[in-house]
Amino acid sequence: MSFSYSVKEMNEMHKSALQEIGNIGMGNATKSLAFILDNQLKLDLPSVEFLEFDKMSDFLDGQDENIVLSAITSITGEINGTVVLVIRKNFAMRILQKILPGDDSEINIDDLNELQTSALNELCNIFIGSYTSAVATFLDADIKISLPYVCIDMLGAVLSSVAVELFTYYDNILVVNNYIESEDEESFHMFYLPDEESYEKIMLKLGIQNE
């Protein structure tokens, strides 16, 4: 299929529109996280890139062997694509300590008990749901999300899982990287990866011409 709006020909107006979508979505998710942690979080301006797979890890310092908490969700409806949540290991442990203050069990992100695993699954569902709900409202689009696939693994393995789903169909993908940082510099990333057809729909919904 051919598209009049090609991600390969994005101009600054197109990038700004995608950044605004990322800001709105991540702003919603950040409010939930800041409330849980009871501290200030720095929300950076989203970056918008058209990437090959091996460049994905550059957003996370390229350290493929680092252990991270991740959640991967498919978006379907008027807008299709994937949302990938990536939380640094220490940050994920700190979030758990906040939401499970009465849990006397030691929190070891590599060996979670049933309660801790359930709490993380629910949190990922809330964060991704908050993000996509805000995006759907802003675009006035009917968007459905799948139940997030949550795992704790090396960053390289997480990105490989994303690659199996996305890079089977595309040599490059559009990435909207939303990033927040806590006071101790632990990070929380939300990647929004719309497919090319959805990119065209987004621009049309926002009334942006393809110049």
Q: Give, to the nearest 10 degrees, the angle between helix 89-99 and helix 114-139.
A: 100
pLDDT of residue 76: 92
Q: Is the dihedral of CA 88, 90, 95, 99 positive or negative?
A: positive
Q: Please, are residues 141 and 79 in contact by the beta-carbon 8 Å criterion? A: yes
Q: What's the pTM value of the predicted model, to 2 decimals? A: 0.79
Mean pLDDT score across all residues of the chain: 76
pLDDT at 198 over 60: yes
Q: What is the pLDDT of residue 3?
A: 41
Share of the chain above pLDDT 70, in %: 75
pLDDT at 69 over 80: yes
**Domain-wise residue ranges, the chain:** 8-205
Q: What percent of the chain has pLDDT over 90?
A: 1
CATH fold, domain 8-205, is Chemotaxis protein chec (3.40.1550)
**Residue-wise pLDDT tens digits, 142-197:** 999 888 888 888 877 887 777 666 655 555 667 777 777 666 556 778 888 888 78
Cα separation, 83 vs 46, in Å, equals: 14
Lowest mean pLDDT among 37-41, 51-55, 157-161: 51-55
Higher pLDDT, 148 or 41: 148
In tens, the pLDDT along 113-132 reads 888 888 888 888 888 888 88
At residue 104 the predicted structure's pLDDT band, cuts being 50, 70 and 90, is low
